[in-house]
Amino acid sequence: MATDGVPGETTSHDEPAHYDYDLIVIGSGPGGQKAAIAAAKLGRKVAVVERRHMMGGVSVNTGTIPSKTLREAVMYLTGMAQREVYGASYRVKSDITMEDLFARTQHVIGRETEVIRAQLLRNHVDILGGTGSFADAHTIDVLDDDGVRRTRFSTRFVVIATGSRPHRPGTVQFDERSVLDSDGVLALEQVPNSLVVVGAGIIGIEYASMFAALGTRVTVIDKRPAMLEMCDPEVAESLKFHLRDLSVSFRFREEVEGVDSNDHGTVTRLASGKRIAADAVMYSAGRQGQTDSLNLEAAGLSADSRGRIAVDAQYRTAVPNVFAVGDVIGFPALAATSMDQGRLAAYHAFDEPARELASVQPIGIYTIPEISYCGRTEEELTTEAVPYEVGVARYRELARGQIVGDSYGMLKLLVHTETRQLLGVHIFGTSATDLVHIGQAIMACGGTIDYLVDTVLNYPTLSEAYKVAALDATNKIRQVARFSS
Ligand SMILES: Cc1cc2nc3c(=O)[nH]c(=O)nc-3n(C[C@H](O)[C@H](O)[C@H](O)COP(=O)(O)OP(=O)(O)OC[C@H]3O[C@@H](n4cnc5c(N)ncnc54)[C@H](O)[C@@H]3O)c2cc1C
Ligand SMILES: NC(=O)c1ccc[n+]([C@@H]2O[C@H](COP(=O)([O-])OP(=O)(O)OC[C@H]3O[C@@H](n4cnc5c(N)ncnc54)[C@H](O)[C@@H]3O)[C@@H](O)[C@H]2O)c1
C-alpha cells in the first residue's frame, strides 16, 4: 500500500507480491504513455507519475503537438499554400494575431490531453499527480503538485520517461518576454516584426519558417556551416531558397556570445563582433534531459552532463529493474521513436517476446514547406562506394502538384544500380512527411524500384511522384548500360 514517506524507511522487495505496482512510469509523454499501456495490456498493475499541467508530456504541451498545430494555423490563416493558385496577395486573414494562432493550439492540446487521460484510465493505469523521484530502485516518492504531500509507492519495475527541456546557456538571461526558448515562443503576446533564431536545428528552422510565413523578418544564427545538416543537401538548399524568398537571413559559422534586452527590443552579440537587433530572440540550441528531480543516485543511477541516462538495446539502465526511454536517453529524441521505445521497454521488463524496431526510420521536418526522408543519403553511399542512381520527380510535373498549387516540391529516390533496390527517399514539399512512408515500406521489405514501375497508383496523386522518379532512375540505369555495351 502507499505510505507517507518516512526518511530511511526500508521495504522488503524480495516478493513481487509486496509491491504496490508492477510498473511505475515517470512521465506521461509518448514514451511513458506507451510503456504504461503496453504493460497494462499484459495484465500488469501500472501507474504513471505526472505533473497536473503536463499530461501528455512535452510532446502534447510544449513540443510536437503545439508546434505542428501552430504550423497548421499559420498555413491556413496566411493562405501560404494557396498563393500559387489565388495569387501572391491571397490571405485568409490580413492581421494575424498570436491569439488567432493559439486558439487552435489550445483546442488541440485540450483534446489530446483528454484522449491520453481516457486511454490510461480505461486501461486501469493509475495517474499519480506530482513529481516522482527515487527513494531506492524499487521505491518512488511522489511529491504532489502543491509541493506539500509526499507519498511513497513500491514497484517491481520503473520506466523513466521524463523527457527533455530546452538547453539554456548560462551566459544568456532569459526574460520570458523577448529572450525566449522554444517553450517561451508559445507564450508570445504578439507576432514579432523581427526575430533572431539561435540554432539552425529542427526546432529553430521549423519556427523560423513559421514566423517568416507570418511576415516576421527572421535571422537564423548557427555556429555550424549549414542548417539541417542531416538532410539531403539539394533538399536543404531548396528550403533555404524558399526561406530567403520570405526574407530570412542566415548567419552560419557564427557563435552567439550573449543577448542584451530592454523595453525596445533585443541585441544579439556574435563572437565575430556583429550585433543584430530584433524584437525577440528564440534559443533553439539543443535540449537537456530532465533528470535533476529524479534523485537518480538513490537508485544507483547517474546522468551525463546533458541529463541523459545510458541504456542497453532493451532500454534497461545499469540497474536491472529500471528502464529509460524517449528524450532522456538521447538520440533520436523524437515523439515517433519514443512511443516504440516505451512499448518495447515494457515488453522487455515483463519478458514478453518483442521484435526490434525496423532499421529504416523516417525523419519528418515540419518546416514550410515540409521535408521528410528515410534511408541513405548520397554522401553516405558515395563514401561507402555503393553504386547508385538518382531518380527525381518534380511536383510541377504531376497533375496533383498543379491542383494543390505546389510547383517547388520534389521527390528523389536513390537506387542501387545493380540490385535496383531502393536505398533512400528524400522529399521536399506538400505531404512529404506522409509520402515518405511508401518508400520506407518498400525499403523495409528490401523492395526494388521495379515494384513502383510495375504498380498502378491512383491518379492524380502526389504518390505518383514515386512512379515518375522510379521511371527516371530506370531510364538512367538503362542508358548507362546501353552506352557501356
Ligand atoms: C518544439 C518541438 C517540436 C517537436 N516536433 C516533433 C515532431 O514534429 N515529431 C517528433 O517525432 N518529435 C518532435 N519533437 C520531439 C518530441 O516532442 C519528443 O521527442 C518527445 O516529446 C519525447 O517524449 P518523451 O516520452 O521522452 O517525454 P516528453 O514528451 O518529453 O515528456 C516527459 C514528461 O515527463 C514529465 N516529468 C519529468 N520529470 C518528471 C518527474 N520527476 N516526475 C513526474 N513527471 C516528470 C514532464 O512533466 C513531461 O510531461 C518536438 C520537440 C519540440 C520541443
Ligand atoms: N520534426 C521533428 O521531428 C522535430 C521537431 C523539433 C524538434 N525535434 C527534436 O528536438 C531536438 C532538439 O532540436 P534543436 O533544434 O533544439 O537542437 P539541435 O541540437 O538539433 O540544434 C541546435 C543547433 O544550435 C546550434 N547552436 C548551439 N549553440 C549555439 C550558439 N551559441 N551560437 C550559435 N549556434 C548554436 C548548434 O550548432 C545546432 O546546430 C532535435 O534533435 C529533434 O530530435 C524534432
For 217, residues 6+ apart whose C-beta sits below 8 A from its C-beta are 193, 194, 195, 247, 249, 278
Instruction: Compute the distance from residue 48 Cα to the ligand 1 centre, in Å.
Output: 15
248 has a pLDDT exceeding 60: yes
Give the C-alpha separation, 82 to 235, whole Å: 22
Q: Is the CB of 224 under 6 A from ligand 2?
A: yes
Q: What percent of the chain has pLDDT over 90?
A: 90
Q: What is the CA radius of gyration of the chain?
A: 25
Ligand 2 and 207: CB distance under 6 A: no
Instruction: Say which CATH architecture domain 369-484 belongs to.
Output: 2-Layer Sandwich (3.30)
Question: By C-alpha distance, which of 295, 298, 306, 303 is closest to 324?
Answer: 303
Mark 65-86 as b/e (b = at least 16 C-beta within 10 Å): bbbbbbbebbbbbbbbbbebee
Atom of ligand 1 nearest to the CA of 54: 49
Taking 50 as the threshold, does the pLDDT of residue 455 lie above it?
yes
Residue 268: strand pairing partners:
259, 276
Q: Which comes out higher in pLDDT, residue 49 or 79? A: 49
Question: Interface pTM (ipTM) of the complex?
Answer: 0.92
Residue 22 Cα to ligand 2 middle (Å): 36
Class for domain 179-285, per CATH? alpha beta
Name the CATH superfamily, with its identifier, for domain 3-166+288-358.
Answer: FAD/NAD(P)-binding domain (3.50.50.60)
Q: Is residue 13 predicted with pLDDT exceeding 70?
A: no
Q: What is the residue whose three cell numbers read 524499487? A: 138
Judged by DSSP in three states, 118 sits in helix
Confidence of residue 81 (pLDDT cuts 50, 70, 90): confident
Contacts of residues 111-116 at CB distance under 8 Å and 24 or more positions apart, as own/partner, are 112/56, 112/60, 112/65, 113/55, 113/56, 113/60, 113/61, 116/28, 116/33, 116/55, 116/56, 116/60
74, 140, 334, 371, best to mutate for ligand 1 pocket (most atoms within 8 Å of CB): 334
Query: Range(s) for CATH 3.50.50.60 in the chain?
Result: 3-166+288-358, 179-285
Contact 211, 195 (CB under 8 A): yes
The whole-chain average pLDDT of the chain stands at 94
* Residue 365 pLDDT exceeds 60: yes
Ligand 2, residue 332: give the atom nearest the CA.
Answer: 43
If you measure from the C-alpha of residue 325 to the centroid of ligand 2, how many angstroms do you get, rounded to a whole number?
20
Q: Which residue among 28, 48, 50, 59 is best mutated to probe the pocket of ligand 1, counting the most ligand atoms within 8 A of its Cβ?
A: 59
Residues 62, 186 contacting (CB under 8 angstroms): yes
- Ligand 1 atom with the smallest distance to the CA of 342 is 25
Distance 202 CA to ligand 2 centre (A): 6
Ligand nearest 282 Cα, by number? 2
CATH 3.30.390.30 boundaries in the chain: 369-484
Tens digits of residue pLDDT in 82-105: 787 777 777 777 788 999 999 999
Tell me if residue 465 falls in helix, strand or coil.
helix
